[in-house]
Structure 1
Amino acid sequence: MTDTMNRSTTAPAHSELDPADGARAYELDRQYVFHSWSAQATLDPFVIAGGSGSEVWGYDGVRYLDISSQLVNTNIGHSHPKVVAAIQKQAAELATVAPAHANLARGEAAKRIVEKAGPGFAKVFFTNGGADAIENAIRMARLTTRKHKVISTFRSYHGNTGASIAATGDWRRMPNEYAWGHLRVFGPFLYRSEFHSTTEAEECERALQHLERTIQAEGPDTIAALVLESVPGTAGIFAPPAGYLAGVRAIADKYNIVWIADEVMAGFGRTGEWFAWQGQGVNPEGVVPDLIAFAKGVNSGYVPVGGVVISPKIAAAFDERVFPGGLTYSGHPLAMASIVASIDAMEDEGIVANAKMIGEQHLGPGLRALAEKHAMIGDVRGLGVFWALDLVTDRATREPVAASVIGALKKELMARHVLPFAAENRIHVVPPCVVTPAEVERALVALDEAFTAVTQG
């Protein structure tokens, strides 16, 4: 991994940053900006002035190690110069174009994505983000199977549009259930098993049986799609046990159901693979989904984008039949240029391989060592740069810690200039794929000190 890759830009000198700008940014935000998933009156947002590699900084010049990757998507790091330059160049040449026209950047982006997906895929339908990628994948499944129901898991998040939020399993679905034809099952998760399993093999067998029985009870002739995060992200970062995805593939084939792999968070280097489903630790049998939904990881969210990678069979279904879907910004040239530059840079600079190495040699061992030291850490799980610490009050009962504990940990980490990602009773350790061993050590020290402070406090 090169220094250029991780230190893509130089932070401005403290004298070049004006704290008054930070104060104004905060005031404008609180007066005019309506935030997602939040009660507005209690917000106290952190103001970010800039970023480079694995770090961001405020208007006071203080640098923070970003182990959140914002929303687990700045895979190539902040402000990678090759991606920034590609966006600038494309903006000067052609800033926008209607989806009906052909554009070189769009074709090049689609070609690269299909090549990374492998021989089981043919084309890409571009969207504006992950939610509408899921939305259109579900649409394709319903139209090609002529069935209507969609099965997803309770521990999941798939986006916040009509069908994608209905497919979501967590609490955010409940105030937003307007779409029809959605069912949920429990997927495999041994640490908090719903099947009273004691081994990964039992968990896999029982989860597959639960899935197939649900399909049978609902009526196989009504089920169009299975929507599964290859490695669930916001729900807790747990890879499926060996055999599970192979079992899903067999069930989908048996009942003519489309398997949609949600790779919005897990894709493009996050697990140390181009797509999480391609990894031996996730899918040792090497089975292939029918559709892949992707988004922010493909270009680190520099420009909003998403899409569906489509199998030849499903793509061919619309050769003579109109696909009834489209978006004004589908394949937007700025987003396409950023994808091309991002994939090329990740390839040239070994960024995906770096993520895998970091997980195997640094993050995984380091986090497991923390768990040996701090009883609050009930479980450590992950791969690549995609890890979660499951925090408990008691390791025997596995009772989750209270929200106040998570709040205290976040405060301690911020005091040590580390920007965390928290979800429910977990701290997720999800730095950019360009993170260095030294930066991982910095994060581990901060985590150790934060757990010590909260435990002793």
Structure 2
Amino acid sequence: MSAPKSDPAKQEAVSAADHKYVFHSWSAQGAISPMPIASGSGSRFWDHAGKVYLDFSSQLVFTNIGHQHPKVVKAIQDQAEVLTTIAPQHANDARNEAAQRVVELAGDHFAKVFFTNGGADAIENAIRMARLHTHKHKVLSTYRSYHGNTGAAINATGDPRRFPNEFAFGHVHFFGPYLYRTNFWATTEEEECKRALEHLEQTIIFEGPGTIAAILIESVPGTAGVLMPPKGYLDGIRALCDKYKILWIADEVMSGFGRTGKWFAYQHGAAVPDLITFAKGVTSGYVQLGGVVISDAISKTFDEKVFPGGLTYMGHPLACATAVATIDVMKEEKMLENATMIGETILGPGLKELAKKHKVIGDIRGAGVFWGVDMVSDRATHEPLAPYGASSPAMNELVAACKKHGLMPFNNFNRIHLCPPCNISVEDAKLGLEMLDKALSEIGKYYTGN
């Protein structure tokens, strides 16, 4: 990593121009002050003032291979010299190679890839495929979920961002398993799994199986808290879909491409979905790309029937070349194995040790380099450190303290998510936990329980 230069004048100029010209997402524009970023390398990035951050957010959980991986940067440069862009109705090598690699990672059940520009439009098109294949219209998804900010995707989303955007039709929500804040009065993972599936089946029955095209779930709900599904839950989803002739759409936008130590998070079990949506880690975010992996049976539906969808930049050559290079370096450098090792030997045990020291830690969940920490003011009542759908002074101070100590976490409501790159070193993983330890020490005053 080259030493970052300190240029406070540049820092101020970038910030001023951003405030003047750029309209940011999910924000009241006058209430935010975006951090100006100069560059990054590996597990770190830095601002123009020279402040370096250890990236435990992977930005929005997408820099799975870290920042500025030289082999992937080179692949983008090489592709730009050959074919920078081409309309999607044409064939090209980069798209063919990317599609083949993704299908091979998904397995024999799958046939083709429909490329999109990102995760939200992958969800849109997966829902469209499911409706056209089944001739049914409803889509079931969980309350604790995020699927993107476009018409059907935001309505499938469970979190409060859907409230001002509820214009699409046919979306029904149900409760998924979450033992720490169980909706089913469960006391064990087994009870939570069984009762969550019973609740889902009742939802199917009362909504009418003949009206339901798909059940859409994140294989591991990410923004909602890194909610690891209990053993048997995804098998139960598969069984209910088969019983009631419903398709299972696995949203792997955040959980895919090594995040949990598997190419796709559903591969921790034996059950296989009908459609897979992906984005983020497939290119490590270097060039935006998403897509839908389509099972053989659904692909055949559209051999003679027109699929009524497309995007100007779908399968963009630069993006597809980036995906090929990203997948290849992940294999060559054994990043999935590294992610698994980091989760099992550093992050998981390390977070448990921090929980012994800091009572504001209520619950810990995760796998690989995908971890969620519930922050509470009272362990006995599980009172969250911020209310549902909002932040709080305590959480704001925690995030600020992390940044002060050089750690960039991913946070949502009362949770801190630790999502470093899949190729993070043991030393940096330990360093991140040390930084978090210091930050947690600064908010102990907010704990009010015994």
In the alignment, structure 1 residue 336 sits paired with structure 2 residue 327: no
Q: Does 1:384 align with 2:373?
A: no
- Hey, what does 1:230 align to over in structure 2? 219
- Aligned counterparts, 1:181-330, within 5 A: 181-279=170-268, 283=269, 286-330=270-314
Aligned match of 2:157: 168
Cα separation, 2, equivalents of 1:261 and 1:75: 19
SS at match of 1:260: strand
Query: In the alignment, which residue of structure 2 is the partner of 1:393?
Result: 377
Cα shift at 1:13: 4.9
Cα distance in structure 1, aligned partners of 2:227 and 2:249: 18
2:4–2:46 CA contact under 8 A, matched in 1: no
Contact kept in structure 2, 1:261 and 1:291, CA below 8 Å: yes
In 2, are the aligned partners of 1:268 and 1:298 still within 8 Å (CA)? yes
Give 3-state SS (helix, strand or coil) of 1:122's partner.
strand
Q: What code does the residue aligned with 1:378 have?
A: G
1:103 to partner: Cα distance? 0.3
Change (3 A) 1:394 1:322: same
Q: Is the 8 A contact 1:53 1:79 kept in 2?
A: yes
Gaps of 5+ in 2: 387-391
Q: CA RMSD in A?
A: 1.0
What is the DSSP-based 3-state SS (H/G/I as helix, E as strand, rest coil) of the residue aligned with 1:269? coil
Q: Hey, what's the Cα distance between the residues in 2 that align with 1:12 and 1:378?
A: 38
Three-state SS of the structure 2 residue aligned to 1:23 is: helix
Structure 1 residue 62 displacement after superposition? 2.4
Partner residue, 1:36: 25
Deviation per residue, 1:58-84 (Å, 9 max, x gap): 112222101010001100100101111
How far does the alpha carbon of each residue in 1:255-307 deviate from its partner, in whole angstroms, 9 at most, with x for none?
1111000000000000011100001xxx2xx0100000000111111111100
In structure 2, distance between residues paired with 1:326 and 1:297: 22
**What amino acid does structure 2 have at the position aligned with 1:333?**
P
Mapping 1:15-34, distance limit 5 Å: 18-34=7-23
Q: Contact 1:152–1:228 (CA<8 Å) still a contact in 2?
A: yes
SS at match of 2:231: coil
Q: From 2, 13, 18, give the equivalent of 1:11.
A: 2
TM-superposed deviation, 1:420: 1.6
Structure 1 length normalisation: TM-score? 0.95
CA distance in structure 1 between the aligned counterparts of 2:109 and 2:12, rounded to whole angstroms: 51
Q: CA deviation at 1:309?
A: 0.3
Q: Distance in 1 between matches of 2:363 and 2:39?
A: 34
SS at match of 1:65: strand
For each residue in 1:406-457, what CA deviation from the matched residue of structure 2 results, as whole angstroms up to 9, or x when unmatched?
1101111111111121100011111111111111111111111111122158
* Distance of 2:336 and 2:378 partners within structure 1: 36
Query: 4+ residue stretches of structure 1 with deviation over 4 A?
Result: none
Counterparts of 1:86-101 in structure 2 under 5 Å? 86-101=75-90
- C-alpha displacement of 1:11: 2.7
What letter corresponds to residue 289 of structure 2 in structure 1?
Answer: V
CA distance in 1, matches of 2:89, 2:304: 17
Cα contact 2:376–2:382 (8 A) shared by 1: yes
- Give the letter aligned to residue 11 of structure 1: S
Could you list the per-position Cα deviations for residues 101-158 of structure 1 after superposition, in whole angstroms to 9, with x for gaps in the alignment?
Answer: 1000000000000111111111000000000000000000000000000000000000
Q: 2:410 aligns with which of 421, 424, 432?
A: 421
Deviation of the 1:19 alpha carbon:
2.8
| SS of 2:272 mapped into structure 1 | coil
Tell me which amino acid in the other structure corresponds to 1:345. Answer: V
Aligned partners of 1:11 and 1:51 also within 8 Å = no
Q: Distance in 1 between matches of 2:8 and 2:99?
A: 42
The answer to whether the Cα contact below 8 Å between 1:381 and 1:387 also exists between their aligned partners in 2 is yes
Partner of 2:389: none
What secondary structure sits across from 2:37 in the alignment?
Answer: coil
Counterpart residue identity of residue 378, structure 2 = D
The 8 Å contact of residues 65 and 330 in structure 2, kept in 1 or not, is answered as: yes
In the TM superposition, what are the counterparts of 1:134-149 in structure 2 within 5 Å?
A: 134-149=123-138
CA distance in 2, matches of 1:139, 1:307: 13
The percent of aligned pairs where both chains have the same amino acid is 61
Contact 1:11–1:50 (8 Å) recurs in 2 = no
Which amino acid letter does the alignment assign opposite residue 160 of structure 2?
Answer: W
8 Å CA contact retained: 2:56, 2:410: yes
Q: Work out the CA distance in 2 between the residues paired with 1:420 and 1:230.
A: 22
Cα distance in 2, alignment partners of residues 268 and 218 from structure 1: 34
